[in-house]
Chains A and B, each alone.
Chain A
Amino acid sequence: MSVENQVDSTGDVDSAGGAGSGGSNDERVRATSTAHRILGNPGLGAVAGAIVLFAFFSLYTAQFGSLAGAATWLDPASTLGIVAIAIAFLMIGGEFDLSAGVMTGSTGMLMGLLAVHWHWNIWLAMLGALVFAVLVGLLNGVLVVRTGLPSFIVTLGTFFVLQGLNQGVAQAITNTVRVDGINLASGYDSANTILGSSVTIRGVAFPVAIFWWVGLTIVGAWILTRTRLGNWVFSVGGDATAARSVGVPVAATKIGLFVSTAVMAWLVGMMTALRFTSVTSAQGVGLELQYIIAAVVGGCLLTGGAGSIVGASVGALIFGMAQIGIPYAGWNSNWFFLFLGVMLLIAVFANDVMRRRFRDRGA
C-alpha cells in the first residue's frame, strides 16, 4: 500500500489522494499540481490517441495528412460525432440508447416516404420525421423513468421495433428496401444546402455536416460544463437519489436526454438522406454501438456521472481517422473492427482506473 493509501483513524482509506482528515495542514494531503489535474481530465486519453493516430497515418501514407485527406476522414467522423455528443450526455446522465443508430434510418425513411410517396414539401417531411423522433425519444425516456428498468433493455426493444418498422414499411409501400428520388421533392435544394451540401475550401469539398459537428461540440461542451442543465446531467448520472433530494428534476432531465438523443439521430438521418437522395431500410443499424464506443473512448463512464463532450467528439474523430486511414495504408478494411475492439478495451480500462481513483468510499 502506497503512502496515500494510509488507513486513517476512522478506518477509511484515503485512496483518492485528495484531502485527508482535519483540514489544511494535513501531512497526508498530496499536492495536486495543474499537470495532475489535466491528466485527470476524462477526455485526455482520446486526444492523445487522436494525435498518435494522425501522426502515424500522416507519416505512413501520402494523402492522409493533406487537406483532401482531412476532408475524407472528417466526413464519417462528423455524422458519427453529432450523435455521439448526445449519447455522451445520455451516458453521463446514467443511461444508454441502443435505438439511436437505427433512428437515423427510421427518420430518413419516414422523411423520404413523406416527400417521395406523399409528395410533401421536404421541409414539412423533415418536420414530420422530427415529430416522430421526439415521440420515440419520449417513449424511451418515459419507459425508463417510469419502470426503472435498465435503459439498455428498453432501448434494445425500441431498436428492434424501429428496425422491423423500417423493413416492413419500406417493403409494404415501395416493394423494395429503399426510397429513392428525394432530390425530386419540392424544397430539396434549400434543405440540402443547409444539411447535405459541401463547402469548398482551397479546392477541397468539406461536407457541411463537419461544421454542424464542430458547432454542436462547442454548444454541447458549454451546456455540460457551464449551465445549470449540465450540473443536473452530472448529478442524475452520479447519484439520482441525492440529486432528487436537493430538488433536481431527475425524471424530466433523463427524459430530455433521451429526446435530445433522438433529435440528434434525426439530424444525422436528414443529412444522410438529403446528401445521398435515398434511404435504405438497413440504414443506421450497427451505428448505435459506434456512438457508445466514441463516447466511452472520449471518457464517459459506463456507470454514468462523468464524461466529456469534447472527448466524445474526439472519439468520433478517432473512428473517422481509422476508418479512412486503414484503407489508405493499403490494409484490408476488416482490420478496422480489430482496431475498434482494441480502442474500446483500452478506453474502458483507462476509465476504470479513473473511476477507482475517484470512487466513493461508501458510507
Chain B
Amino acid sequence: MSESSMELDSVSKYFGSVIALKDVSFHADPNEVTCILGDNGAGKSTLIKILSGFHRPDEGRLLVGGEEKTFHSPRDARAAGIATVYQDLAMVPLMSIWRNFFLGAEPRKGRWPFRYFDLEGAKQIATDEIARMGIMIRDAEQPVSTLSGGERQSVATARAVYFGAKVLILDEPTAALGVRQAGVVLKYIIRARERGLTVIFITHNPSHAHLVGDRFVLLNRGRSIGEYRRDEISKDELLTKMAGGAELDELSHEITELEASMRSAETGTTKA
C-alpha cells in the first residue's frame, strides 16, 4: 500500500436526521486521478469536508497510506499531506503572485534583527513551481487579480504541492470556468498526476471527469452507486449513471406529458 493513497471504508455521516453520506467506500492511489461525480445534493461537499478534516465520519474509517487516521481539524489533514484547493483560493488579489505563493510561509535569510524575506529566491521558486504545473506566467510580480480563474487555481495548486501535499483534493475546480479556462485546469490535473500525486477531482461535469479521470466514483443521494475504471465506462454512460438513468427516463416522460397537457389546454381555449 502506497504511502500517499487515500481510502474511505464504509463511511457514513449524519446531520441530525439527515443522512448526508451512507456507507461510502472508495480508494484513490498515487499517479491516478480519482473523480468523485455527483449531482447537487449527492454528498460531494460532505465527502470533501471529511477528506480535508472539517468533519469526522460518524461511522466507518478513513485511511491514509493504509493507516487509519482521525483528523481533528483541517490542520491535521494538511500535516498528513492532504491539500484541498477550494474555489475561494485563499489569495490576496492586490498582492503579487510570488508574495501570495509564500504568504504565511515566507523563506527567510539572515540573523535577527536583520532577518529578511528572501525575495529573489521566492520569485524564482514561485515561477518555477507554477511552470511545473504547465502555466507560464510572464512575471511573478503581477498581482493575482490580473490572473484568470484557471491560472489562479493553478497557482493555488502549485503552492499546495510545493508545501508538501501528497494528496490533492480539487473541489469543483472547473465549475465556474469557460471551456478554455477549464482546459487549463484539466491540463494541470494531468501534470499533478504525472508528478506522482494522488489527485481527487470532485466535479459534477462528466465530460471534464472523463477527459482526465483514471477512476470514477459516482455518488447519488449520499450513497455510492458505483466505481468504474476509465476503460469500463464511456462518457455517456457516466452521464446517464450520474443523473440516475431511471430518473432521467422519468424526467423525459414527465416533460412529454407536460407538453401534451399544455397543448391540449391551448386547443381547449381556442374552442371556447
Residue ranges of A at the interface with B (Cβ–Cβ < 8 Å):
8-12, 14, 16-24, 29, 32, 37, 222, 226-228, 230-232, 234-235, 238-239, 241-243, 245-248, 305-306, 358-361, 363
Q: Are B117 and A19 in contact (CB under 8 A)?
A: no
In the bound complex, CA of A363 to CA of B90 (Å)? 12
Contact pattern, B 166-192, Cβ under 8 Å of A = 1, otherwise 0: 000000000011111101100000000
Contact residues in A for B79 (Cβ distance below 8 Å): none
Given contacts A227-B117, A234-B99, 15 further A-B contacts (CB under 8 A): A8-B180, A18-B142, A18-B143, A19-B137, A22-B148, A22-B150, A22-B183, A226-B119, A231-B103, A232-B103, A235-B92, A242-B88, A243-B92, A246-B103, A246-B105
B119 contacts across to A, CB distance below 8 A: 226
Contacts of B251 in A (CB 8 A): none
Q: Could you say which residues of chain A place their CB within 8 Å of the CB of B151?
A: 19, 21
Q: Are A305 and B94 in contact (CB under 8 A)?
A: yes
Instruction: Report the interface size class on chain B.
Output: 35 or more
Q: Which residues of A contact B148 (CB under 8 A)?
A: 8, 10, 12, 14, 19-22
- How many angstroms between the C-alpha atoms of A6 and B135 in the bound complex? 21
Given contacts A21-B181, A24-B138, contact A235 B95 (CB under 8 A): yes
Residues from 78 to 105 in B contacting A, C-beta threshold 8 Å: 87-95, 99, 102-105
* Complex interface: chain A residues within 8 A of B146 (CB): 16-19, 358
Q: Please count the residue pairs between chain A and chain B whose beta carbons lie under 8 angstroms apart in the complex.
A: 131
Which listed residue, A10, A232, A239, A242, touches B181 by the CB 8 Å rule? A10
Considering the complex of A and B, which 3 residue pairs feature the smallest CB-CB distances, nearest first? Answer: A18-B146, A9-B178, A360-B93
Contact (Cβ within 8 A) B99 A231 = yes
Contacts A24-B136, A247-B104; is A234 near B92 (CB within 8 Å)? yes
| B233 touches A (CB below 8 Å) | no
Given contacts A9-B180, A23-B184, contact A231 B117 (CB under 8 A): yes
Question: Chain B residues with Cβ under 8 A from A248's Cβ?
Answer: 103-104
CB closest chain-B residue, reference A355 = B94
The answer on a CB contact under 8 Å between B143 and A16 is yes
For B150, the chain A residues whose CB sits under 8 A away are 21-22
Q: Does B57 contact A (CB under 8 A)?
A: no
B135 and A12 contact, CB distance less than 8 A = no
Chain A residues whose C-beta falls within 8 Å of the C-beta of B176 in the assembled complex? 10, 363
In the complex, residue of chain A having the shortest beta-carbon distance to the beta carbon of B142: A18
Which residues of chain A have C-beta atoms less than 8 A from B116's C-beta?
Answer: 222, 226-227
| A247 to B104 Cα, complex, angstroms | 5
Residues of B within 8 A of A12 (CB): 148-149
Tell me whether B111 is interfacial, beta carbon within 8 Å. Answer: no
Q: How far is the CA of A188 from the CA of B52 in the complex (A)?
A: 62
Chain A minimum-CB-distance residue to B137: A19
Closest partner residue, chain A, to B144 (CB atom) = A360
Please, how many angstroms separate the alpha-carbon atoms of A358 and B143 in the complex? 7
Q: A142 vs B141: C-alpha distance in the bound complex, in angstroms?
A: 34
Closest to B147 in A: A19
Residue with the highest number of chain B CB atoms closer than 10 Å, among A17, A29, A32: A32
Q: B97-137: which have CB < 8 Å to A?
A: 99, 102-106, 108, 115-117, 119, 134-137
Contact across chains for B92 and A8 when beta carbons are under 8 A apart: no
Cβ distance B149 to chain A, nearest Cβ, rounded Å: 6
B139 within 8 A of A: yes
A238 touches B92 (CB 8 A): yes
Q: Can you list 13 contacts pairing A with B, beta carbon distance less than 8 Å?
A: A8-B181, A9-B178, A10-B177, A12-B149, A17-B146, A22-B183, A227-B116, A230-B117, A234-B95, A238-B95, A246-B90, A363-B88, A363-B176
Question: A228 to B92, Cβ gap below 8 A?
Answer: no
Q: Is B145 part of the binding interface, using a Cβ–Cβ cutoff of 8 Å?
A: yes
Q: Report whether B95 and A305 are in contact in the complex, using a CB–CB cutoff of 8 Å.
A: yes
Query: Complex formed: what's the CA distance from A239 to B104 in Å?
Result: 13
A11 interface neighbour in B95, B117, B147, B178, Cβ under 8 Å: B178
Cross-chain contact A242 with B147 (CB below 8 angstroms): no
B93→A18 contact, CB < 8 A = no
| Contact A227 B115, beta carbon cutoff 8 Å | yes
| Residue contact A359 to B145, C-beta cutoff 8 Å | yes
Q: Which of A21, A247, A358 lies in contact with B184, CB distance below 8 A?
A: A21
The CA of A315 and the CA of B109, in the complex, are separated in Å by 32
Chain A residue contacts of B179, Cβ below 8 A: 9
B85–chain A nearest beta-carbon distance, Å: 12
Tell me how far the C-beta of A224 lies from the nearest C-beta in chain B, rounded to whole angstroms.
Answer: 10
- Distance in Å from the Cβ of A315 to the closest Cβ of chain B? 20
**Is A9 a contact of B149 with CB atoms below 8 Å?**
no
B149 x A10 contact (CB < 8 A): yes
Complex: A231 Cα to B100 Cα, angstroms: 9
CA distance A235 to B178 in the complex (A): 29
Q: Please tell me if the beta carbons of A9 and B95 are within 8 angstroms of each other in the complex.
A: no
The CA of A241 and the CA of B118, in the complex, are separated in Å by: 25
Chain A neighbourhood of B135, CB < 8 A: 23
Is the Cβ of B94 less than 8 Å from the Cβ of A306? yes
Q: How far is the CB of B96 from chain A (nearest CB, A)?
A: 9
- A201 CA / B128 CA spacing, docked (Å): 51
Expressed in whole angstroms, the Cα–Cα distance for A12 and B184 within the complex equals: 15
Q: How far is the CB of B100 from chain A (nearest CB, A)?
A: 8
Whole-angstrom distance from the CB of A44 to the nearest CB of chain B? 16
A129 shortest CB reach to chain B, Å: 24
Chain B nearest CB from A17 CB (Å) reads 7
CA gap between A37 and B140 in the complex, in Å: 13
Bound CA–CA A22/B179 (angstroms): 11
B contact residues around A238 at 8 Å (CB): 92-95
Q: In whole angstroms, how far apart are the Cα atoms of A363 and B138 in the complex?
A: 23
**B138→A19 contact, CB < 8 A:** yes
B-side contacts of A222, CB under 8 Å: 116
Q: How far is the CA of A8 from the CA of B183 in the complex (A)?
A: 14
Chain B residues contacting A231 (CB-CB under 8 Å) are 95, 99, 102-103, 106, 117
